[in-house]
């Protein structure tokens, strides 16, 4: 059970970010699944989802955009080849916690200028102006709404499914990670044309996880969503 307390949106304007960790791995979810990536996990979240399986509060350090870029560069294994462009360029994933809780623009600008592709993972409740034409935003809704100004910039939506909590009308969950959603979990905006992923929740229980997977599979077969498994867990990476 997640007991990490929710934290308010930061008001800093100097571009410094409070960072939990930076690590090199393989992206296990979303449109970049299977690609090498450096994760920048930011501290804190404005929500507290009971079934959240991510630690994002126990490590904290403040980094300027330049220092963050330096840490990203240093995270790469020695001798790594940074070739590739477009979808297969080198990837930095900004996650949390909730990244939109902090001022992201200066750090994103530094990463993009250095030649990195940037993906943000968000719960969709907060918004800030960013260079959206240069980044990819994946939203995993946790409440009953997605911020209206953010919705138009989303590349993909990822819904986490628990068995017995799925709508018969659209195959999407009624809530996510046991966080309350009134009247139900946010649905894709009417003009959304991106990918809709459904991902079985990991409840650290083999029997429950099997039921969650079966529910996600049935959602895909009936409604045409895209099945999303946590590839990084399957292959034993962070």
Model confidence pLDDT, tens digit, residues 54-93: 999 999 999 999 999 999 999 988 777 665 555 556 899 9
81: exposed, middle or buried (Cβ count in 10 Å: 0-12, 13-18, 19+): exposed
| Confidence at residue 76, expressed as pLDDT on a 0 to 100 scale | 87
What is the per-residue pLDDT for 51?
Answer: 85
> Which residues of the chain carry a pLDDT beneath 50?
none
pLDDT at 84: 53
Residue count of the chain, please give it.
238
Q: Are 146 and 186 in contact (CB under 8 A)?
A: yes
Which pLDDT does position 78 carry in this prediction?
Answer: 79
Q: In three state form, how does the secondary structure of 110-124 look?
A: HHHHCCCEEEEEECC
169 part of a folded domain: yes
**Virtual CA dihedral for 57, 204, 197, 146, nearest 10 degrees?**
-40
Strand, helix or coil at 3? coil
Residues near 73 by Cβ (< 8 Å), separated by ≥ 6? 114
CA–CA dist 118, 109 (Å, integer)? 10
Beta bridge partners of 139: 122, 157
Look at the chain and report how many structural domains it folds into. 1
Q: Is residue 3 part of a domain?
A: no
Compute CA distances 86 → 77, 91, 113, 117, whole Å: 21, 10, 14, 8
pLDDT digits (tens, 9 = 90+) for 190-211: 999 999 999 999 998 999 999 9
Residue 104 forms part of a structural domain: yes
**Vertex 43: Cα angle to 163 and 113 (nearest 5):** 105
The pLDDT value given to residue 20: 97
Any domain includes 8:
no
CATH of the domain at 205: 3.20.20.70
Q: Has residue 111 been placed in a domain? A: yes
Identify the domain containing residue 208 by its residue range. 17-234
95 within a domain of the structure (yes/no): yes
Query: Is the residue at 6 inside a domain?
Result: no
d(CA 152, CA 132) in angstroms, rounded, equals: 10
Does 4 reside within a domain?
no
């Amino acid at each position: 059970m997640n007991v990490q307390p929710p934290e308010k949106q930061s008001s800093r304007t100097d571009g410094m970010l409070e960072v939990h960790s930076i690590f090199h791995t393989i992206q296990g979810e979303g449109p970049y699944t299977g690609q090498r990536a450096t994760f920048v996990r930011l501290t804190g979240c404005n929500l507290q989802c009971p079934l959240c399986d991510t630690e994002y509060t126990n490590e904290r350090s403040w980094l300027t955009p330049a220092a963050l870029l330096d840490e990203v560069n240093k995270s790469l294994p020695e001798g790594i080849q940074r070739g590739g462009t477009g979808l297969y360029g080198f990837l930095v994933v900004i996650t949390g916690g909730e990244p939109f809780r902090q001022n992201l623009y200066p750090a994103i600008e530094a990463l993009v200028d250095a030649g990195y592709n940037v993906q943000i993972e968000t719960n969709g409740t907060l918004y800030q102006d960013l260079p959206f034409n240069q980044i990819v935003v994946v939203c995993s809704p946790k409440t009953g709404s997605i911020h209206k100004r953010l919705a138009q910039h989303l590349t993909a939506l990822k819904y986490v499914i628990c068995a017995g909590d799925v709508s018969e009308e659209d195959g999407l969950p009624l809530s996510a990670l046991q966080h309350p959603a009134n009247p139900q979990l946010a649905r894709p905006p009417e003009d959304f044309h991106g990918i809709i992923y459904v991902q079985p929740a990991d409840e650290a229980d083999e029997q429950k996880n099997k039921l969650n997977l079966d529910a996600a599979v049935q959602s895909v077969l009936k409604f045409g969503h895209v099945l999303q498994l946590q590839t990084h867990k399957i292959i034993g990476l962070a």
